[in-house]
Amino acid sequence: MYSIKETSIGKAWVALVNLVQTEGTQLADEGMEITNVTVQFDHDSNQPDQILEEFADKDMIQNMQFVFFGRGEDRLGHSYKDLMMGPLGENDFSDVVALLKNKEECKRATVTFCHKGEGKVPCINVVNFLSRNEELQVSYFARGQDAYKKFFADAVAVAEMQALVAKEVGLQVGTITGFIASAHNYFDDAEKYNVLIDVSEQ
């Protein structure tokens, strides 16, 4: 199993893209892939993330915020908020907040993104919230993530979920840990992600 631990989303993004390229195997004629990788990172919304500022696709970040928070649909008509279910059946974070307020050591504060049986499965399927040591720690499972194009945008969305819940329950934000079953880079994006890797190593 591969493991990454970084201090920001941007650094975790570069490390993941690089890991896929250096340790991955070819996935048919699509690109490179590593399986079963954990990525842990911190996110401070008050501190600029220079890597994201310079290299991240801002439209992709906005698109994922639309998808996860019900602010609209993406260009493919997806809305993950419609697929979200909390432990008490809500499709927002209110029941997660209620559980954490009621029992600090709760282990059931989890939202699930369920598919509709149409063959399309959200990239992120489960997000879990734990109150530990006065911090809100978040873990998520992704069946697959496009390391170069999507990881950073999904990570920003999960960090926004963390900040939202942490504020409601009066906790500081802690670490975020993602478990990715399939992390991949597509050959079509090679020119762009090679620039990202090269510049970050200077």
pLDDT over 90 percentage in the chain: 72
Residue 157 domain flag: yes
- Residue 145: strand pairing partners: 183
pLDDT band, residue 81 (cuts 50/70/90):
confident
CATH number at residue 118: 3.30.572.10
What CA–CA distance (Å, rounded) separates 131 from 107? 9
User: What DSSP element (H or E) covers 92?
Assistant: none
**Where do runs of H (alpha helix) occur along the chain?**
9-23, 50-55, 58-69, 94-102, 151-169, 190-200
Q: Does residue 90 fall inside a structural domain? A: no
Helices 151-169 and 9-23 sit at what angle, rounded to 10 degrees? Answer: 140
Per-residue confidence at 165, pLDDT binned at 50, 70, 90?
A: very high
The mean pLDDT of 120-145, rounded to a whole number, is 94
Domain range for 50 is 2-55+113-200
Whether residue 130 is contained in a domain is answered as yes
Asked if residue 82 is part of any domain, the answer here is no
Within-domain flag for 68: no
Does residue 194 form part of some domain? yes
Domain count of the chain? 1
